[in-house]
Amino acid sequence: MEADRWIDRVRAQREHLPESAELSELEDQLRAMVRRLADLEKQAVPLRAKYDEAATSATKFRDRAHLLQERLSDVNTSPKDLAALQHEVEQVQDKLSVAEDAEVTLFLELGPLDEAIQAVREEAKPLGARRNELMNAIMELQSTLDDEISNLQTQRLERAGVLSSGLLSRYETAMKRAGVSGASQIDGNRCDGCRIALAPLELDRWRGQAFGDFTNCPECGRILLPC
């Protein structure tokens, strides 16, 4: 009975480690951050594509304007060609101005989104580190508790080995029905397994049982051990 109760306690401890509860809360926070980051990235993707397009256009027009300026500086260029080049320069400068305005506008729109994305990532870093710490701590604790459970199970086998086959069968049957253990003790007038008070007649029967005889709790079916 004591071995089974201790096994149950250690298993419960293993399944309800404070570190596991903290890890669960932490992972909820990280999942919320991932969702927030995904939303920000979703907003940023089309803006970034437009910004890249505007930046590419600005670079193209900037390079073209530079080339035209070099050709304008060529002393061998005829007046007619100079006029055509000057006209093209004006057109390219207009297009460059539009592209640069779009580039600046999109850059300013992207700025807060990029800052928000970076802020989420920075906020997640210590949480990610703590998550790794907790996972390692949980693995170590669970390994230690598994060893303790294994030792308790060995003790249980040793103790079960001294019982008669009939009594052991009764115990195992009661344990399957009640859970945790197949026997209990009387605490006051209550079965300490199910915590139900026994009727006076049942208490008298328990007190008067002969040595080696065992009655069962009428409520949970556990074997009632003598005091």
Tens digit of pLDDT at every position of the chain (227 positions): 999 999 999 999 999 999 999 999 999 999 999 999 999 999 999 999 999 999 999 999 999 998 888 887 776 767 787 788 888 888 999 999 999 999 999 999 999 999 999 999 999 999 999 999 999 999 999 999 999 999 999 999 999 999 999 999 999 999 999 999 999 999 999 999 999 999 999 999 999 888 888 999 999 999 999 87
- DSSP, residue by residue, 132-189: HHHHHHHHHHHHHHHHHHHHHHHHHHHHHTTS-HHHHHHHHHHHHHHSS-SEE-EETT
Q: Are residues 90 and 202 in the same domain?
A: no
Cβ partners under 8 Å of residue 134, min gap 6: 19, 22, 23, 26
Same domain, 172 and 151: no
Q: Indicate if 24 and 65 belong to the same structural domain.
A: yes
**pTM for this model (two decimals):** 0.71
Indicate if 181 and 93 belong to the same structural domain: no
Examine the domain organization and report whether 39 and 98 are in the same domain: yes
Strands 215-216, 223-224: pairing kind: antiparallel
Q: Edge-to-edge strands of the sheet including 183-184?
A: 183-184, 223-224, 215-216
* Secondary structure E strands in the chain: 183-184, 186-187, 190-191, 215-216, 223-224
Q: CA–CA separation, 196 vs 199, rounded Å?
A: 9
62 and 135 part of one domain: yes
How many residues in the chain?
A: 227
Tell me which residue of 125, 189, 227, 156 sits closest to 3, measured CA to CA.
156
Rounded Cα distance, 180 and 8, in Å: 6
Q: Shortest CA distance to 115 belongs to which of 40, 207, 226?
A: 40
| Domain membership of residue 133 as a residue range | 2-160
Q: Shortest CA distance to 110 belongs to which of 50, 53, 165?
A: 50
Could you tell me if 61 and 140 lie in one domain? yes
Q: Are residues 103 and 187 in the same domain?
A: no
For residue 105, which of 93, 97, 95 has the smallest C-alpha distance? 97
Residues 72 and 145 in one domain: yes
Residues 183 and 107 in one domain: no
